[in-house]
Structure 1
Amino acid sequence: MRHLQLSPAWFFTDGSGSQLDPKLFALLRALHRDGKLTDAARDCGLSYRHAWNLLQQWGDFFQTPLVEKRRGRGTLLSPLGHKLLWAEQRVAARLEPQLESLSLEINGEIEQLLEGAKPALRLHASHGYAVALLPRFCRDLQLDLQYCSPHDALAALERNACDVAGFHLPLGVGDDVARKILRKLRPRSHRVIQFITRRQGLMVQAGNPSEIRQLADLAGRGLRFINREPTSGTRALLNVLLQEAQVRSRDIAGFEQEEFTHSAIAAYIAAGMADAGFGVEAAARQFGLDFIPLAQEHYLMACHRKSLGHPGIHGLLSLLRGDDFHAAVEDLPGYSARYCGKVMTVDELQKHIYTPDQAL
């Protein structure tokens, strides 16, 4: 299948406009993981000589080495090598939602021209690891996926600007958050599609050097925090947990610093720019961070009752109920797809949502 994938390109200029070879970032990632240039070069499909020349070329460009060879310790990234690696990770994590949405839009247009029309579905949802899996499994469905906050997604559903809206509700905490969301759903005209459950908590640097165990440990210690944007569901959950723990946000250094995805939060911490952040376990594990679970939440989808028989919704439900998609979700740390694809009424959702340990 022909598929367009967008990714950022890096340009460093010294007057002649040189472009960084994308293989350099793959090599830096492998070196950070393996600590040996021989292994890193092999993992990247490069010869040892080519890998070494690439590192020397860009070390000469910056007039600073990207790696340091140490007797008995292999090849380690230099401070500049670390900075480049984590800068690339942060940029990719921050731009991921926009690039995914744009690539899906363009791919849909190309598929219509080359393969004929498929059932189309407009899904507005907040960015997350499980949502990002959906395009991979859309073999018979043209998915128009737009990333936005849960509030904006449900507002789009209300004005028929999308067919399905994603939102999340915490289990056992944050009754006010749940009530605000549920007020946007109409029992007679809306239906709820179960998607996944996921664990949220504190992401901290590997080994937890700051000895963070709970939210109260963030206050008054000068630890650097990185936050999600105010409109995100994750930020709403964090605010609830802080209130329940009687921790004031103004006592947390860096609370006003924001990133827009879970992976961007994790990349920020992994780069050494913060000591802690709040997000899903999968992001912490992806970047080699420690994770302290604090809450579990449902990620759900809403649609109009009359839309359930439409081909696009039918295609989505078939995807969500498929074994392949379930297996992919279960591979994500802290995620579960046990009831993925089950349809329920708003009243049924309201009966279950306030019971912490009860699955929907």
Structure 2
Amino acid sequence: MHKVELSYLLSPQRGKDALIRNPMMDILHAVSEQGSISKAAKALDFSYRHVWGALKDWEQTLGRSLIVWDKGQRARLTEFGEKLLWAERQAQARLAPQIEALRGDIERAFSTAFDDNAHVLTLFASHDAALSALRDQTSAHGLHLDIRFMGSVDAMAALNDGRCMMAGFHVRDQPARHSAAARNYRSLLKPGLHKLIGFAHRQQGLIVAKNNPLQIESLADLTQPSMRYVNRSEGTGTRVLLDDLLAEAGLTPSAIHGYDSQEPSHTAVAQAIASGAADAGLGIEAAAREKGLGFVPLVRERYHLVCLKSELPTPQVQALIRELQSDEWQTTLNQLPGYSGKQAESGKVLSLRALLPWWSYRKAKAA
């Protein structure tokens, strides 16, 4: 059975009919109506050579004859050609309402591209519940966030490779110079090249079963032989955070049963615990509350957005900054479990050196 592929054209105005056009069907219809290849070509404003070659190509592709090629006789369609035209008329008539609805949906989607007041911003970011809420809010105001969730390290690498306009990552306040966060992010961020934009404060902690039946209170409890931990993927900010917390607690990854497991998001971690596949996992409070699970808070962290300095004046970035500074966004953010925007200075351009004190510079020698 042959397959069907659909395509579309962008034009200032629609054609006279609402059909899905197909060049083979147009030629077959013209040959049937005109009675010759030359007259069909003239009616379609094609050359005889083009129409004749197209028909031969389609016959070879379909493995069937389309035209009765009797020299000196009126051109006519084969039975197969007639059946093709009949089947196409049936499909067009039956699917006309769906075709019209699809056409309208595509036109509405493309209307954004022709609207000078609408903007699209590509954002690669560590998984975060507040970003999903932000996307819903900004879309209603003409700013469309094309968000792709991935690990913080991968997101910033994508920013530096030019694959996105903005990246999202998270760290604790004033991370230490020799922390895992510093080792992972320092080489990806450059003062003078990147600009940091405040987004949100959020609570990270251990997601546990409802009512915390195992009485898990700290990372040390995860070292119990029967405890099953579910981890985030390598390169994610939450896994980097876990490495820092384990080091500070004097624990090694090998002491945690399940450290080598990998889940792609906070939601996936919460789902693993809700299904009974694991007992605990590091994640955001919003993911735990969404699944009706328990939550043991461990640390508050800043979620940052970062872009190249050269992109800061662009309409997309400026539109996002205005959204982040709006009262509407502050209200939305404060309603999410474990989030706040005031301390994170949402929408403010912040100092990389002040918030991420990882870089050291030689002091100039006195003259």
Q: TM-score, normalised by structure 2?
A: 0.63
Aligned to 2:97: none
Check the 8 A contact 2:289/2:337 in 1, yes or no: yes
Q: 2:356 is aligned with what amino acid? A: Q
Q: Which is worse superposed, 150-159 or 251-260?
A: 251-260
Aligned to 1:228: 232
Aligned Cα RMSD in Å?
2.3
Check the 8 A contact 2:228/2:257 in 1, yes or no: yes
Distance 2:319 2:271 in 1: 34
Residue 112 of structure 1 pairs with residue 107 of structure 2 = no
Distance 2:234 2:353 in 1: 28
Aligned to 1:334: 338
Check the 8 A contact 1:193/1:343 in 2, yes or no: yes
Distance 1:108 1:336 in 2: 38
Deviation of 1:352 (Å): 10
Residue 165 of structure 1 pairs with residue 167 of structure 2 = yes
**CA-to-partner distance for each residue in 1:222-276, whole Å, 9 max, x for gaps?**
1111111111110110111111112222222222222111111112111222111
Deviation of 1:120 (Å): 2.2
Aligned to 2:122: 122
**CA-to-partner distance for each residue in 1:322-353, whole Å, 9 max, x for gaps?**
11111111111111111110112322333599
Q: CA 1:213 to 1:309, structure 2 compared with 1: closer, same or farther past 3 Å? A: same
Q: How does 1:138-217 map to 2 (within 5 A)?
A: 138=138, 139-171=141-173, 175=177, 176-180=179-183, 181-217=185-221
Deviation of 1:191 (Å): 0.9
Q: CA 1:127 to 1:108, structure 2 compared with 1: closer, same or farther past 3 Å? A: farther
**CA-to-partner distance for each residue in 1:7-63, whole Å, 9 max, x for gaps?**
xxxxxxxxxxxxxxxxxxxxxxxxxxxxxxxxxxxxxxxxxxxxxxxxxxxxxxxxx
Q: 1:143 is aligned with what amino acid? A: L
**CA-to-partner distance for each residue in 1:198-218, whole Å, 9 max, x for gaps?**
111111111211111111111
Deviation of 1:155 (Å): 1.4
Check the 8 A contact 1:108/1:144 in 2, yes or no: no
SS of 1:187 mapped into structure 2: coil
SS of 1:228 mapped into structure 2: coil
Q: CA 1:286 to 1:220, structure 2 compared with 1: closer, same or farther past 3 Å? A: same
Check the 8 A contact 1:126/1:150 in 2, yes or no: yes
Residue 347 of structure 1 pairs with residue 315 of structure 2 = no
Q: CA 1:315 to 1:266, structure 2 compared with 1: closer, same or farther past 3 Å? A: same
Distance 1:162 1:316 in 2: 15
Aligned to 2:52: none
Q: 1:237 is aligned with what amino acid? A: L
Q: CA 1:350 to 1:254, structure 2 compared with 1: closer, same or farther past 3 Å? A: closer
Q: 2:121 is aligned with what amino acid? A: L
Distance 2:248 2:159 in 1: 32
Distance 2:158 2:255 in 1: 36
Aligned to 2:311: 307
SS of 2:216 mapped into structure 1: coil
Q: CA 1:161 to 1:227, structure 2 compared with 1: closer, same or farther past 3 Å? A: same
Higher-Rg member (1/2): 2
Deviation of 1:113 (Å): 3.6
Which ranges in structure 1 are unaligned for 5 or more consecutive residues?
Answer: 1-106, 354-360
Check the 8 A contact 1:108/1:143 in 2, yes or no: no
Q: 1:156 is aligned with what amino acid? A: A
Distance 1:201 1:248 in 2: 18
**CA-to-partner distance for each residue in 1:250-305, whole Å, 9 max, x for gaps?**
22222222211111111211122211111111111111222111111111011122
Check the 8 A contact 2:155/2:167 in 1, yes or no: yes
Q: TM-score, normalised by structure 1?
A: 0.64
The count of corresponding residues between Structure 1 and Structure 2 is: 247
Aligned to 1:321: 325
Q: 1:261 is aligned with what amino acid? A: S
SS of 1:247 mapped into structure 2: coil
Check the 8 A contact 2:229/2:280 in 1, yes or no: yes
